[in-house]
Structure 1
């Protein structure tokens, strides 16, 4: 393996939970210490290194991993942590020689995801990101007119149904009190479709949309977007950005435009709300700007449609390497992702209502059925 640019030889040890380096390379120790039992039963305390660049020159997989730093271990050891991360399988041949092949399983996928910052994954509708460098949105009005529509009475079950999400968003700072706003538009809670339960907090912003000067729409056409897909790239990862619009701030001077009334009090949004006509365009611009600085190490292709990201790669190893690099990048840029919607390094995925495979793209059957109804 190549570690920090150094070509090192390792002994594969399935009995070792963590990989060990004894060679004198420039590993930076951390404060984390672990107890290590050697083959002769001797127990010593060793330090872990920071995560460093590791490359398997055979498969081309590149990743970051920490090592146990030990001067007492007689050789470098390749433990179960890197065996799984490098997608290796150990088996015996008819000649009795041990050989190493590649293997992927769900446990390994979960292990790979553990390397990522835990804050990358959204825990719910109020767990929102804040994209680095995103300029606070300023609203440009058409005139001095400020729409004010009173909140109509809500049914008890609807009002009670949105209390949990309202309280969560208020606590997270996505909603704030705004008693002075000259604008007001009504809430109309919507019951979620089965099998989901509960209510969605929806605001009717049509009057606001009619009173502002919208930016030119820059959202890509999903059908033409897929035509840009390189047919040689047949390994895919699909990423869903969670609570995407809420990761873009609204300028304090413009927040009053999104005011509403709930339980007799006036509130507004501090982040870009659903239902605002410019939200898809603004978020798309911010996302494209955020991703423009990311270069996939293995040259994978990235397609973006609002909050849905597709990575396409030539090989499985390239897809793993570039996917993990992209996920680390998104975490560093302040995004939150849906872990449950992640389609990770597959040759068959669903993206923008299409099934993507090595044979090309096909419209999802449910979309075909809906189109004939």
Structure 2
């Protein structure tokens, strides 16, 4: 059950529906002028009216969402689609006997934060230049489609943007993540992005579209998040989520291929020695390397581990098992 504009409604949770459908008449829902094509179970596509943004609350978790829904009195039931399944953190877990159980994912705070602060400081990232290097990761070699090497000039940057990314570049240079490069035939522009509050500082973003178009890409193997959530075992009650900070920087780029990622800042050319953000193959390559590494790790208490690029989800049946396996996993990653 979910409240829509204050009205409690029953929904059928439907992972096959991309958009939530409301069949019941609800006061205060306003229709928009927009429509959306809806394919019914028999394959017929019809146009249905979209609402204006509506306020939706999960009465169990208290999580809120604000989104448009499809208004369709012809639909047999109210359907909770993938748009709200993700926002309300709802997971469908298959049981041992084939039944499906709905489970909500909660984030614990307070006591858990105190326990985490007591753990080894070597496990936590201290900034964008605090990077690791995965042991045994083969340096990445770029496979070009042709002899073409894209070269785009750096467009002018605002003074505050230049000052904002200068310390970031200096720290990356000191850490060996970038290096000076004076002879690269490839060059693509930077466009610094100011971090959204409450974060401070600037983020380096490089436009690698021209490079991405000039290389032969590996077949993508990044899993679908909704599929991963459906793989969560039915007895999972406690969860740990580990985000691998600056993940792509832990994969080296082969010296013969580093020129592909060159950029210019204040008249000097630099290039990446590690796998950069924005490169089309970075998620796939990192996922392959990480999967290979994690295949060597077994949780002491049998917790389940799911990988999604640089995020690790650990699923446990008890709090004790969750903590023991989380610490073992952090030790494994740090080493």
| TM-score, normalization by structure 1 | 0.59
Whole-angstrom CA distance in 1 between matches of 2:113 and 2:249: 32
- Name the residue aligned to 1:128: 131
- Where does structure 1 differ by over 6 angstroms across 4 or more consecutive aligned residues? none
Q: CA deviation at 1:173?
A: 0.6
Q: CA deviation at 1:120?
A: 2.2
Q: Does 1:187 align with 2:162?
A: no
| Helix, strand or coil at the partner of 1:323 | helix
- Name the residue aligned to 1:22: none
- Name the residue aligned to 1:152: 155
Cα distance change of structure 1 residues 314 and 215 upon mapping to structure 2, 3 Å threshold: same
Whole-angstrom CA distance in 2 between matches of 1:108 and 1:272: 34
Q: CA deviation at 1:281?
A: 0.5
- Name the residue aligned to 1:307: 310
Q: CA deviation at 1:131?
A: 0.6
Q: Aligned to 1:229, which of 229, 232, 237?
A: 232
| Helix, strand or coil at the partner of 1:282 | helix
Q: CA deviation at 1:197?
A: 2.3
- Name the residue aligned to 1:109: 115
- Name the residue aligned to 2:143: 140
The equivalences for 1:89-104 within 5 A come to: none
Q: Aligned to 1:288, which of 273, 283, 291?
A: 291
Cα distance change of structure 1 residues 159 and 231 upon mapping to structure 2, 3 Å threshold: same
Q: Give the paired residue count.
A: 226
Q: CA deviation at 1:301?
A: 0.3
Whole-angstrom CA distance in 2 between matches of 1:261 and 1:108: 44
CA deviations over 1:290-337 (Å, ceiling 9, x no partner): 1010011111100110011100011111111111111110011xxxxx
- Name the residue aligned to 1:8: none
Whole-angstrom CA distance in 2 between matches of 1:312 and 1:179: 48
Q: Aligned to 1:199, which of 195, 198, 202?
A: 202
- Name the residue aligned to 2:300: 297
| TM-score, normalization by structure 2 | 0.66
| Helix, strand or coil at the partner of 2:228 | helix
| Helix, strand or coil at the partner of 1:267 | strand
- Name the residue aligned to 1:239: 242
Whole-angstrom CA distance in 2 between matches of 1:238 and 1:106: 13
| Helix, strand or coil at the partner of 1:317 | helix
Whole-angstrom CA distance in 2 between matches of 1:325 and 1:197: 33
Whole-angstrom CA distance in 2 between matches of 1:131 and 1:292: 14
Whole-angstrom CA distance in 2 between matches of 1:156 and 1:320: 47
Whole-angstrom CA distance in 2 between matches of 1:133 and 1:306: 18
| Helix, strand or coil at the partner of 1:239 | strand
- Name the residue aligned to 1:277: 280
Higher Cα radius of gyration? 1
Q: CA deviation at 1:108?
A: 6.1
Whole-angstrom CA distance in 2 between matches of 1:107 and 1:140: 45
CA deviations over 1:29-50 (Å, ceiling 9, x no partner): xxxxxxxxxxxxxxxxxxxxxx
Cα distance change of structure 1 residues 256 and 121 upon mapping to structure 2, 3 Å threshold: same
Cα distance change of structure 1 residues 297 and 112 upon mapping to structure 2, 3 Å threshold: farther
Gap runs ≥5 in structure 2:
1-109
